[in-house]
Amino acid sequence: MFDQLVASLTVAAPRKSREIRAGDVFTRLTATAEVMKDSYGTRLRFCVCSCGNDGWFRESQLRAENSKSCGCYRRDRAIEMLVKAREAASKNVVRGVDGKFRRQDN
Ligand SMILES: [Zn+2]
């Protein structure tokens, strides 16, 4: 009886440390079969990013979805925000006679 209860609890318990397999996708990163440990004993997984970059990522960070890309995701977001900021700023800017952009006073 007790054994059955333990067995049912074990099955129902969430799998906390899911094993990462080659081919698993974490947003832009795709895990390969290559694994190593760093000097702290942390498991690192070699991943290929959808942009073409690759590198070693901590498996715990991949599982927690803290590692989404090689860094290009954050870079793309930064560029996107910069473009939007420029567009917003350009609405209040006129080109001066010397060819330089000047903020319009109104
Ligand atoms: Zn990338």
42 with 82, same domain: the answer is: no
> Which residue has tokens 């799998």?
15
Residues 6 or more apart whose Cβ sits within 8 Å of residue 17: 63
Overall domain count for the chain: 2
Are residue 76 and residue 88 in the same domain, yes or no?
yes
Predicted structure pTM score: 0.62
Same domain, 65 and 105: no
Q: Is residue 77 part of a domain?
A: yes
- Cβ atoms of 47 and 57 closer than 8 Å: yes
Distance from Cα 48 to the centre of ligand 1, integer Å: 8
The answer, yes or no, to whether residue 92 has pLDDT greater than 80, is no
Using the 8-state DSSP alphabet, how is residue 104 labeled?
P
Show the domain range for 64.
18-70
Whether residue 63 is found in the same domain as residue 75: no
Distance 76 CA to ligand 1 centre (A): 9
> In the predicted model, what is the mean pLDDT of residues 28-45?
96
The closest alpha carbon to 28, from 60, 71, 61, belongs to 71
Residue 71 pLDDT > 80, yes or no?
yes
